[in-house]
Structure 1
Amino acid sequence: MEHMFCLQSNNCSKSGNTPNVLRQGGTTALNFMLMDWYKQAIQTPLAYTLKLPSNRSPEARKKRRARLSSFLSGGLAGGTTTTFLYPIEFLRTRLAMDIGATIKTRQYPRGMRDVFISTWNADGVRGLYQGYGIALFGVVVYRALHLGGYDAVKSELIHRKTLSLEYNQQQHSTKARKIKFNDTLTIGERFAVAQIVSVVAGTMCYPIDSVRRRLMMQAGEPVELRRYRNSLYCFRKVMTQEGIRGFYLGIGPNLVRSFGGALLLVTYDAFKVMI
């Protein structure tokens, strides 16, 4: 980061910002919209699981179905969003890595247009989806843990809190003054859950994201000059040459960014209540 600042001053921190804003806005809107839609769509298939023979109680099976619904809908939403917006993510990554002392010394001086034209001329549509396979796998896992995990953990905590408060209400039922209990999570509790889920999901899926970025950066190059043939080859080569540490290069800023992801989840919850 210090090296980039010396080369480009304030411009380096904004490189790739335009496609990042487009990607972030579209990703956020589609993820939340599609998660709610998928959650409704898979309720019917999951309802059949209650009719299957099981040693679990009906209540336990319903809770298990609710958790499964959260994880599945989160993963499906992430996969669908990535499929539509992956070219923008590709442009963002290439521009963010395009550093130079001046605009003329950069590989893509005109920004998004240069990246798009260069990649299209070299590889066509396939070039814009370089690393898509591993990215799709990573996003499905990440969104299942991030969106679905938050929804599942939040629902479980609310359920446990409700049971505890019902017990407390019964204990105080003999008193003349009726005591009111809050059976929902506070903003602070929701944010704590969201932050923990964001850090765990980001840490678990970061190696996949590292491979995706490495594959992205070689798009547009001649095939014989590319360092990695495919995702599996990239995994093996990084592990052999750099070890586990190679998969976690740059994870520090990613963990700091998880604060925004947690804030987004809590804000969405608040708006759902208001609407």
Structure 2
Amino acid sequence: MVSLTVEMEEVLGQNRNHCCPRTARLVAGMHSDVAALRKYSIWHEASRIVREEGFGAFWKGNLVTIVHRLPYSAISFYSYERYKNLLQMVPGLDRDSNNVGVVRLLGGGLAGITAASVTYPLDVVRTRLATQKTTRYYKGIFHAVSTICRDEGIKGLYKGMGATLLGVGPSIAISFSVYESLRSHWQMERPHDSTAVVSLFSGSLSGIASSTATFPLDLVKRRMQLQGAAGTASAHKSTISGTVGDILQREGLRGFYRGIAPEYLKVVPSVGIAFMTYETLKSLLSSMGTDDGS
């Protein structure tokens, strides 16, 4: 346990001199004027990281993302199946009804809210660690948690949660609903296609749809998570309306989609792979259960 903690601290510590292109664009508006923001681009930031730290720097700090994504994804997929089963017990939403789309949307929304609520402090810590540059204020996961609690109180671990729940419900709802609809249609039209390929492409398209619809709220959430970071005072009131107003005033409507391009580059493979892995593992575990039963 001690060696794992040390390893985590070392990996996270390596991340102090840069943040990824998407995060850089998400938070740039907090520290720059509009003219400076125009200089940010995926290629500008990516080339800077390669030039200054090498290609391997793109994976620095990946451990903290995994620490967050593991429980988040597990809870999302598990609770989605459970919520679907519960909703199908409601009169009018059973399996034989024409309201399968409603079940998928409601189940996905409830699953997203459940997963985000349980893992939200890890999301805040991940954002704080990923956006450190020259000054290493937070030295690792555990140090970040204790420092945030000391500087900002327990509520500091939940900054931006309102924006998260407003966004993650529709985001996961759209993602699961689009995914299942595309997969069902594809399998009806081409029943002999590989399940893995169908899941990969359906998941990728569902990720694009959900990201496009909910990206502004995700940006607002990230900005709120960084208010008060590293012991600094908040530039404006730490509320959804205050953050929205600040973005509108400084960056205009386009500011709400700052970083959408790298978001797509991340979402297309990551969501597709997540759904493909889920379906493959579910099929494998089901077949193992069948074999044991026989």
Fold in common (TM above 0.5):
yes
Instruction: Answer whether contact 1:238 1:247 (CA < 8 A) is retained.
Output: yes
Q: Within 2, Cα distance between the matches of 1:14 and 1:107?
A: 20
Q: Which amino acid aligns with 1:18?
A: L
Q: Within 2, Cα distance between the matches of 1:91 and 1:245?
A: 27
Q: Within 1, Cα distance between the matches of 2:176 and 2:237?
A: 31
Note the alpha carbon deviations across 1:6-33, whole angstroms, 9 max, x for none.
5655785445433211111111111111
Instruction: Answer whether contact 1:71 1:149 (CA < 8 A) is retained.
Output: no
Q: Within 2, Cα distance between the matches of 1:273 and 1:224?
A: 51
Identify unmatched segments of 5+ residues in structure 2: 1-44, 287-294
Shift of 1:222: 7.2
Max Rg structure:
1
Instruction: Answer whether contact 1:146 1:197 (CA < 8 A) is retained.
Output: yes
Shift of 1:219: 3.5
Q: Within 1, Cα distance between the matches of 2:50 and 2:133?
A: 10
> Structure 1's 195 and 28: CA in aligned 2 closer, same or farther, altered over 3 A?
same
Shift of 1:245: 2.1
What is the percentage of aligned positions where both structures have the same residue? Answer: 24
Q: Within 1, Cα distance between the matches of 2:240 and 2:282?
A: 39
Q: Which amino acid aligns with 2:137?
A: Q
Instruction: Answer whether contact 1:122 1:220 (CA < 8 A) is retained.
Output: no
- Whether 2:209 is the aligned partner of 1:200: answer yes
If the length of structure 2 is used for normalisation, what is the TM-score? Answer: 0.72
Q: Which amino acid aligns with 1:69?
A: V
Shift of 1:157: 4.4
Shift of 1:118: 1.9
Q: Within 2, Cα distance between the matches of 1:211 and 1:233?
A: 10
Q: Within 1, Cα distance between the matches of 2:93 and 2:86?
A: 15
Equivalent residues in 2 for 1:3-14, closer than 5 Å = 3-4=48-49, 13-14=58-59
Aligned to 2:228: 219
- Whether 2:122 is the aligned partner of 1:88: answer yes
Shift of 1:243: 1.7
Q: Within 2, Cα distance between the matches of 1:219 and 1:40?
A: 42
Q: Within 1, Cα distance between the matches of 2:60 and 2:239?
A: 27
Q: Within 1, Cα distance between the matches of 2:194 and 2:55?
A: 39
Instruction: Answer whether contact 1:73 1:144 (CA < 8 A) is retained.
Output: yes
Q: Within 2, Cα distance between the matches of 1:183 and 1:19?
A: 39
Q: Which amino acid aligns with 1:77?
A: A
3-state SS of paired residue (1:19): helix
3-state SS of paired residue (1:28): helix
> Structure 1's 81 and 49: CA in aligned 2 closer, same or farther, altered over 3 A?
closer
Q: Within 1, Cα distance between the matches of 2:231 and 2:237?
A: 12
Q: Within 1, Cα distance between the matches of 2:186 and 2:202?
A: 10
Aligned to 1:128: 157
Taking only aligned residues, the RMSD between alpha carbons, in angstroms, comes to: 2.6
Q: Within 2, Cα distance between the matches of 1:7 and 1:212?
A: 29
If the length of structure 1 is used for normalisation, what is the TM-score? Answer: 0.77
Aligned to 2:264: 255
Aligned to 1:174: none
Identify unmatched segments of 5+ residues in structure 1: 51-57, 162-181
Q: Within 1, Cα distance between the matches of 2:52 and 2:170?
A: 37
Instruction: Answer whether contact 2:164 2:221 (CA < 8 A) is retained.
Output: yes
Equivalent residues in 2 for 1:1-275, closer than 5 Å = 1=45, 2-4=47-49, 13-45=58-90, 47-48=91-92, 62-63=97-98, 65-100=99-134, 105-108=135-138, 110-158=139-187, 161=189, 183=191, 186-187=194-195, 188-220=197-229, 225-258=234-267, 259-274=269-284, 275=286
